[in-house]
Structure 1
Amino acid sequence: MPETGRWGLPPVPPRKRLRGQQRKEVAEAVVNAYDPGSASIRDIADATGRSYGWVHQVLKDQKVPLRPRGGARPRRAATKKEEDK
């Protein structure tokens, strides 16, 4: 396997189908980067040079539970009645 980058992820040649042992090794590296919660799908895609969809599919194929979408949820505006309290 070539040298690894951030999160121990190997660079993956673009537009090259991965099969057999190479796919297993890359899938294992993707799962390891995603599991602890340190890397997002988008981070992994950037690090490997693959698309968001490719990384998402690898995680689904490996039966990894995906985290919910991130970001703060907007607070709902206070109504007139709540402000009067």
Structure 2
Amino acid sequence: MQIRPRVRIVGAERHQLAQHIAGRYSAGESIRALAASIGRSYGFIHQLLEEAGAEIRHRGGNHRTRPTTTAAGAGK
């Protein structure tokens, strides 16, 4: 879905776009990927997500827990 550049999006069109973006975001797509796919800025996408009531994920990727090391195994 490409949006015309430098065109203000308001009213029902903005609400519809916000719902569409929020659905894709909740499915796991990143804000940067969404911005690139529709040709708008990160800030614009972030604002639409807030307007749609989407819960913004924390920064960073997949953080796996690291196995704990024991004091005996630390010197190896």
TM range (shorter): 0.7 to 0.9
Separation of aligned partners in 2, 1:31 and 1:72: 20
Q: Are residue 43 (structure 1) and residue 33 (structure 2) matched?
A: yes
Separation of aligned partners in 2, 1:36 and 1:48: 16
Q: Which residue of 1 aligns with 2:51?
A: 61
- 1:34-69: CA deviations, max 9, x gaps? 0121x1000000001000000001111112111111
Q: Which residue of 2 aligns with 1:13?
A: 4
Q: What is the number of residues matched between the two proteins? A: 71
TM-score, normalisation: structure 2: 0.76
Task: Kindly indicate whether structure 1 or structure 2 has the higher relative contact order, using CA contacts under 8 Å at least 6 residues apart.
Answer: 2
Structure 2: 5+ residue stretches without partners: none
Q: Give me the identity figure in percent.
A: 37
TM-score, normalisation: structure 1: 0.69
- Which aligned segments of 4 or more residues in structure 1 are displaced greater than 4 angstroms? none
Separation of aligned partners in 2, 1:72 and 1:25: 30
RMSD: 2.4
Q: Are residue 22 (structure 1) and residue 10 (structure 2) matched?
A: no
For the structure 1 residues 48 and 72, does the alpha-carbon distance in structure 2 shift closer, same or farther, using more than 3 Å as the test? same
